[in-house]
Amino acid sequence: MERRNAKVTFSKSVNNSLGCKLSIPKDWTDRMGIDPEDRNITLYFDGDNITVRRQEMSPIKHTPLASKQKILRFALIWQQMYLNHKTIPFFFFEDVMFLGDELADLGFEMDCGNSLEEAFPGVDAYNDNAEFEKILEKIDLQTLGNAIFSQWRYWNHWSMGPMEEKDFQWFVKAFSRLAELASYT
């Protein structure tokens, strides 16, 4: 845990009441993901300590699609993670900061599968690996990234059971195709 000493700044408002401000080091806010577009925080006070956290329900930040080079690196790493899932602690697949935040930072959206359903109506691509394989040659980079994000969120948040081998294989196929799409110039 890092520690820095600081001073509280007091100022009078128009109606002569005192207000307080506290400066937080910029590198800390950068690491927390707080920026001018997403600056909502929650303060907690227990009588002795003040805790600052990003709001859990902050507005979704729509990020432009990252470079294909970044997406390629990301896809290759996660393809191997899911391929070798038996040797990797499961929290890497569950924790938002590892996969969810990276998908959002790359410009993909968790859209509950809507973009995949719009692109391929009637195809059960999330539950049927054979159906998913049929559409992989026709899918575009953004739709596939959104589908991965939505499927990850399903297993991370909504599913009531553990992932089976076929579910891990879905991600291996998805990340493999994402890497192929990102490698095209």
Residue 50 shares a structural domain with residue 88: no
Rounded Cα–Cα distance for residues 78 and 166 (Å) = 16
Residues 47 and 124 in one domain: no
Whether residues 49 and 126 share a domain: the answer is no
Residue 60 lies in a domain: no
**Average model confidence (pLDDT) for the chain?**
88
Q: If pLDDT is split at 50, 70 and 90, which confidence band does 158 have?
A: confident
Average pLDDT over residues 21-44: 82
Residue range(s) defining the domain that contains residue 90: 68-183
Residues 97 and 45 in one domain: no
Does residue 78 share a domain with residue 28? no
Place of tokens 């049927």: 128
Task: State pLDDT tens for residues 46-71.
Answer: 888 888 887 765 445 567 899 999 99
Q: Are residues 92 and 28 in the same domain?
A: no
**Distance from CA of residue 90 to its chain's centroid?**
17
- 39 and 74 in a single domain? The answer is no
Tally the domains of the chain.
2
Return the higher-pLDDT residue of 32 and 62: 32
Q: How big is the CA angle at 111 (ends 121 and 28), to the nearest 5 degrees?
A: 160
Asked whether residue 1 is domain-assigned, the answer is no
d(CA 3, CA 8): 16
Q: Is residue 20 part of a domain?
A: yes
Same domain, 84 and 172: yes
Q: 49 with 85, same domain?
A: no
Query: Are 82 and 16 part of one and the same domain?
Result: no
Residue-wise pLDDT tens digits, 89-109: 887 877 667 888 899 999 999
Helix axes 141-153, 68-83, angle to 10 degrees: 40
Given this model, what pLDDT does residue 70 score?
96
Closest CA to 129 of 87, 166, 155: 166
Is residue 173 domain-shared with residue 84, that is, in the same domain? yes
Q: Are residues 73 and 147 in the same domain?
A: yes
Query: Residue 150: which residues within 8 A CB-CB, separation 6 or more?
Result: 110, 111, 112, 113, 116, 126
